[in-house]
Structure 1
Amino acid sequence: MNVVRQFGVHVLQIYWERRSYRTAIALGTITSLISLVQFLLMGKFLQDGNTFNGIQGYGGNIISFLMSGSVFTGFVAVSLGAFSNHLQIEQRTGTLEAAVVMPVPLTRVMLYSGAGGLIGTTVGSVVMFGLFGVVFDIPISVNLLATLAVLALLVLTLGSFGLAGCGVLLITKRGDPVRWGITTLTTLLSGVMYPISILPGWLQAVARALPTTQALDGIRKSLLTNADLGQVAPALGHMAIWTVVMLPLGLIMFTTGMSRARRAGSLGEY
């Protein structure tokens, strides 16, 4: 009976702890539902059979299509989390207040942390592409300059969103709706696991407006079909517009979140 009672107390403790982070709970619940929709769309795509309509523009190879999508999500994750991952570490260890008053600006330290993650993701992606390319004989035709240009602007664009998410995270402590929103829209609508051509017409319009959809299109073309800078220029221009809008907005939201947390005396809370 003691074991059962102790287990019950432990479960209640977890419940009351997580109940206090309502944003995180709401986002987690919605994510579960969206994941189901994502797999249903993936199933619809696979029903096309051997032709796999919608991927011919990227070489027509299903393995390279899915693998490039997997690599892309790694860069999305590290770009969005460049700031918030370090911020959450500081929150969990209770050192955020001390980090804020250090001589080195907190944003610079977060940039260093993000750069380290970006290097690791890049090395891992190169190794994975090389290994799977040999094992599965995947046709890869890379235009390095175009690929690097798209990735660089992707990091800058999503880093701006990540900075905005940090401003929210400073207030909510757990549950970053900005990062969650971009990640969810990317996996569901940007063509990571299936081409956007299988989506309803109105959703295709939404998908094309996303910076991640344009970035993934540019990366697949430059990585798999040797597309040059001129051919990925539409993707670069689209992301540049998003960056011009989001970078100042991200800075404002981060500064506002930091100011509110300081006034509330909640920098040390997690």
Structure 2
Amino acid sequence: MEIKGIISKLYAFLYIRGFKVWSSYRTQVILTVLSWTLPVFTYYFIGTSLGNKVVQDIHVTNYTSFFVIGLAFQGYVSSVITTISQRIRNEQLYGTIEYYVLSKSGVLSFLIYSAIWGFTINTINAVIILTIGDLLGVRYEINILSTLVLTLLLISSTLGIAFMSAASTMIIKQGNPISFFFSTFTTLLGGVVFPVTIMPSEVTYISYALPLTWALNGLRNAMLYGYGIFQVLKCIEILLLFNIILIPLGLLMYSFSFKKAREKGTLGEY
């Protein structure tokens, strides 16, 4: 019975509320796919036009392979965090968030299932970007186990941050600083299109405080050079540490904000 309920919720959130609604806006679908693919060509032509200088300055042998991995997996961070905070915001605007509070699933379950749609849509994004990278000459040597472990750890740590973002939306309604930072600045600070080591040391400290920086470091080695679990173990250990800190912290912040919003009667306000 429990499994049937989970399948029913996955169907509702992934297909009806997710894919069916998303695909019904065809113009938006086209624009979304373009927003995934155009940055790949932008950075490709930047690297091509500047020639070997880009490769030498960032200390990699192939700039295209470097930024393709970065763009493919950075989306998990921005997509999941934005999806969850936006879902909370939408329910406040529609006046339906109280129904989730009263339902058996509750708001926490609503957030988790909403996050699954964020994971799904960004997996499509990642596949498209990696495919374009292959067409542009990137040669992958993927260690499947290492890639899966690193991806799952990146996603789970992102979920903890997403709960913090949802907590912020619950209280301040508009102008979510957590969502803004992780959807905007991670491209710059997370080593997505250039190594963090070329930035000023003060900024580098911030970069190493982001799970994305460590995940991309491990994923590039796992997907481009076939590194196994033990060869990327340092990245895995640090991502596990992020998970141990971020998931409980995110749940705590969310629970606190949800409780305060209910006490003040501002849960449905927008």
Fold match, TM over 0.5?
yes
* d(CA) in 1 for partners of 2:113, 2:91: 14
Match in the other structure for 1:148: 148
Residue 239 of structure 1: CA displacement? Answer: 1.4
* Corresponding residue of 2:68: 67
Task: Measure the CA separation in 2 of the matches of 1:189 and 1:131.
Answer: 24
Distance 1:66 1:249 in 2: 31
Count of aligned positions: 224
Q: Structure 1: how far apart are the matches of 2:205 and 2:100?
A: 43
What is the distance in 2 between the residues matched to 1:171 and 1:81? 16
Cα shift at 1:47: 9.1
Q: TM-score, normalised by structure 1?
A: 0.75
Which string of whole-angstrom CA distances, capped at 9 and with x for unpartnered residues, describes residues 90-144 of structure 1?
Answer: 122110112111111221122112112212221332233224313x222211111
The 5-angstrom pairing of residues 1-270 of structure 1 reads 49=53, 51-56=55-60, 60-134=61-135, 136-270=136-270
Amino acid across the alignment from 2:78: A
Q: Give how far 1:217 is off.
A: 0.8
Given that 2:80 and 2:162 are in contact with CA atoms closer than 8 Å, whether structure 1 keeps it comes out as: yes
User: Is the CA contact 1:82–1:159 (under 8 Å) kept in the aligned structure 2?
Assistant: no
Letter in 2 for 1:97: E
Are residues 79 and 205 of structure 1, via their aligned partners in 2, closer, same or farther at CA, if it must alter by over 3 Å?
A: same
How large is the Cα RMSD of the aligned pairs? Answer: 2.3
CA distance in 1, matches of 2:70, 2:63: 11
Call closer, same or farther: CA 1:155–1:50 in 2, change over 3 Å. Answer: closer
| Contact persistence 2:73–2:126 (CA under 8 A) | no
Question: d(CA) in 2 for partners of 1:183 and 1:189?
Answer: 11
Q: Which residue type is aligned with residue 98 of structure 1?
A: Y
Distance change >3 Å, CA 165–CA 221, structure 1 → 2: same
Cα distance between partner residues in 1 of 2:68 and 2:156: 23
Larger radius of gyration: 1
Distance in structure 2 (CA, Å) of the matches to 1:55 and 1:95: 51
What amino acid does structure 2 have at the position aligned with 1:241? L
Q: CA shift at 1:184, angstroms?
A: 4.3
C-alpha separation in 1, matches of 2:132 and 2:55 = 25
Q: Which amino acid counterpart does residue 235 of structure 1 have in structure 2?
A: C
Which runs of no fewer than 5 residues in structure 2 stay unpaired?
1-42
Distance 1:127 1:205 in 2: 32
Following TM superposition, by how much is the alpha carbon of 1:50 offset from its aligned partner in structure 2, in angstroms?
5.1
User: What is the percent sequence identity of the aligned residues?
Assistant: 29
Cα offset, 1:264, TM superposition: 1.7
